[in-house]
Amino acid sequence: MIRHALIADDDDLSREYLAEALRASGIEVSEAVDGRDAQRLFDADRHDLVFSDLRMPGGNGIEVLQAVKTASPRTPVVLVTAYGSVECAVQAMRD
Amino acid sequence: MSPSERDAVMAAQTEAMPPSAREIARLEESFRLFTRTTQDLESSYKRLTQRAARIDTELAGANRRLHTQVEELERVTRNQRGTLDALPVGVVVMDASGTLIDVNRAAEHMIGRQRDELVGRSRAVIVGPTGDALLTDRDTPDEREVVALDGSKRRLAWSSASLPDGHEVQVLTDRTVATRLREQVSRLDTLAALGEMAAGVAHEIRNPLNGIEGFAALLERAVSKGVTDAGLTRYADNIRRGVREVNTIISNLLTFASPDSIRSGRVDLSALLQGIIDEVRGSHATAKTIRGHFPREGCEDVPGDAIKLKIVFVNLIKNAVEAAGIEGHVDVLLELSERSFLVTVRDDGPGLAPTMRDKLFRPFSTDKPDGTGLGLAIANKLVSLHGGGIEALEAAQGCTFRVTLPRGETPR
């Protein structure tokens, strides 16, 4: 049962829309604007579900994924990207 | 005894003797004279023969030496020809009047004519079918695209040197292939940059589009459920906000991609910077202090485009204010050097991430949560258009940018 979700995205509108949609489904939402913020919030609250943008300042989505999986391997993590293809997204993270 | 004394003695003797004995004596005297003369002639002939033999020997020696010298000269000439023809650069030798004396094989190839069709002609008439001078008349190095006499298109570079005897040597280099390769590399670089930029644009625009679509979906669901409360307005507001974001990105992109020209004019740089500082103080989530340090005079009449320079400094000062945060300090310093105007914008924020340093001025590079990564790219381009430069200086704390604008005439 998902009660509390964490959304990490530096783009305000995307983050707020996802938060709005989740709240409309009765889920409590925490919002982070960068990777470090997301890891700090997750360490404190151990959310049931994590959405993370792939490319953010201060720790990218892969780092968020690794931190969450280390602390709580069963927590699902959804990585979100505005890049058009997987190659593009991987390249974006390398850059 | 002289011949006349001798004759007088002989005449006296002859008169004293009887006629027959006198005749005999005369005959004997004539015979002695003949013998002496013959001996003289013989010894003269011998000397002449010896001298002729000596001259013959000397002449043969001189001939041998001359022959050796001629052979040596031919060998040197052959070697020089071979060396000249083996050179990958074209060599053209002219006399003081500009008449061609020698042309090597590479020059024949570049000019598009054989040596014997070029030697003896004036530099002024060595002109391609479309009117390109195929030899330069400049003292300084020259480089141009030309159509050669054989119709081939080439990019040639010339340099010339004067010889002590008044002759001139021109060295021709064929840059056709090198230039073509450079252009290809440049095109590939442009394509790569374009690809990177397209990916950046896609990313920047998709983010707000994602939000717009999301809020539109929420709005649609609420309306279909018959919801009429204030939440609907909020959804609509967020959609409009997203559209504004997309619009801002497109406007910035257009500024970045606008034609490479600036409007020439004069700018009061102190007033421009003070104006920006006042605006930022009034409107932005501001730093604790923003201070301007300007010289009393000398910066009222800076050549440049006021609007474009304002964009540059608004970007830099807003960046500094955001980096400094509400407890931070920003200093804007204007200085004059002999050749330039220097504007330094310094903040005491966290400084640049090491990964950002190399790509500061590349479009869509940012470490700000809400940055599009176009501000510094635009500033860099606009400063370049003014003939100036922008750089991030190493700083112990925070971040320091310096803009250098040239003094002197308005760039075009």
Measured between beta carbons, which residues in chain B are less than 8 angstroms from residue A24?
218
**CA distances, B263 to each of B15, B275, B412 (Å):** 136, 20, 8
Helix (H) / strand (E) containing B94: strand B90-94
- CATH fold of B90-174 reads Beta-Lactamase (3.30.450)
pLDDT of residue B410: 44
Residue of B302, B279, B305 lying closest to B292 (CA atoms) = B279
CATH annotation of B265-406: 3.30.565.10
* Residue B238 to residue A10, Cβ atoms within 8 A: no
Give the residue from chain A lying closest to B240, CA to CA.
A13
What are the tens digits of pLDDT across the range B8-49? 666 666 556 667 888 999 999 999 999 999 999 999 999 999
pLDDT of residue B44: 94
Mind telling me how many Å the CA of A11 is from chain B's nearest CA? 7
The tokens describing A93, both together, are: 């993270």
Measured between beta carbons, which residues in chain B are less than 8 angstroms from residue A21?
214, 217-218
- Angstrom distance (rounded) from CA B363 to CA B98: 54
> At B119, is the pLDDT very low, low, confident or very high (cuts 50, 70, 90)?
very high
Specify the DSSP class assigned to residue B336.
E
- Angstrom distance (rounded) from CA B201 to CA B92: 54
* Residue B199 to residue A92, Cβ atoms within 8 A: yes
Specify the DSSP class assigned to residue B259.
-
Sign of CA dihedral B123, B127, B131, B134: negative
- Angstrom distance (rounded) from CA B388 to CA B383: 5
**pLDDT average, residue stretch B190-198:** 73
Contacts of B256 (CB under 8 A, 6+ apart): B363, B374, B377, B378, B381
pTM: 0.46
**CA distances, B261 to each of B67, B264, B305 (Å):** 72, 9, 10
What are the tens digits of pLDDT across the range B212-268? 999 999 899 888 988 878 778 889 999 998 998 888 888 877 777 666 677 788 889
What are the tens digits of pLDDT across the range B47-82? 999 999 999 999 999 999 999 999 999 999 888 888
Q: Which residue has the higher pLDDT, B284 or B88?
A: B88
Burial class (CB in 10 A: 0-12, 13-18, 19+), B280: buried
**pLDDT average, residue stretch B129-142:** 88
Facing B214 at nearest CB: one of A18, A57, A82: A18
* Residue A21 to residue B212, Cβ atoms within 8 A: no
In contact, B61 and B72? CB cutoff 8 Å? no
pLDDT of residue B412: 44
Specify the DSSP class assigned to residue B325.
-
What are the tens digits of pLDDT across the range B287-332? 778 889 988 888 888 888 888 898 899 889 988 988 888 888 999 9
Is residue B388 helix, strand or coil? coil
Kindly provide the b/e burial profile for residues B150-185, where b requires at least 16 CB atoms within 10 angstroms of the residue's own CB: eeeebbbbbbbeeeeeeebebbbbbbeeeeeeeeee
**For testing contact with chain A, the best of B197, B204, B207 (most A CBs within 10 A):** B207
Residue of B166, B169, B150, B147 lying closest to B158 (CA atoms) = B169
- Angstrom distance (rounded) from CA B128 to CA A63: 65
Q: In three state form, how does the secondary structure of A15-81 look? A: HHHHHHHHHHCCCEEEEECCHHHHHHHHHHHCCCEEEEECCCCCCCHHHHHHHHHHHCCCCCEEEEC
Measured between beta carbons, which residues in chain A are less than 8 angstroms from residue B245?
13
pLDDT of residue B194: 73
Mind telling me how many Å the CA of B276 is from chain A's nearest CA? 27
* Residue B215 to residue A17, Cβ atoms within 8 A: yes
pLDDT of residue B411: 45
- CATH fold of B182-257 reads Helix Hairpins (1.10.287)
pLDDT of residue B409: 55
Q: Does A27 score more than 90 pLDDT?
A: yes
Q: Where are the domains of chain B?
A: 3-82, 90-174, 182-257, 265-406
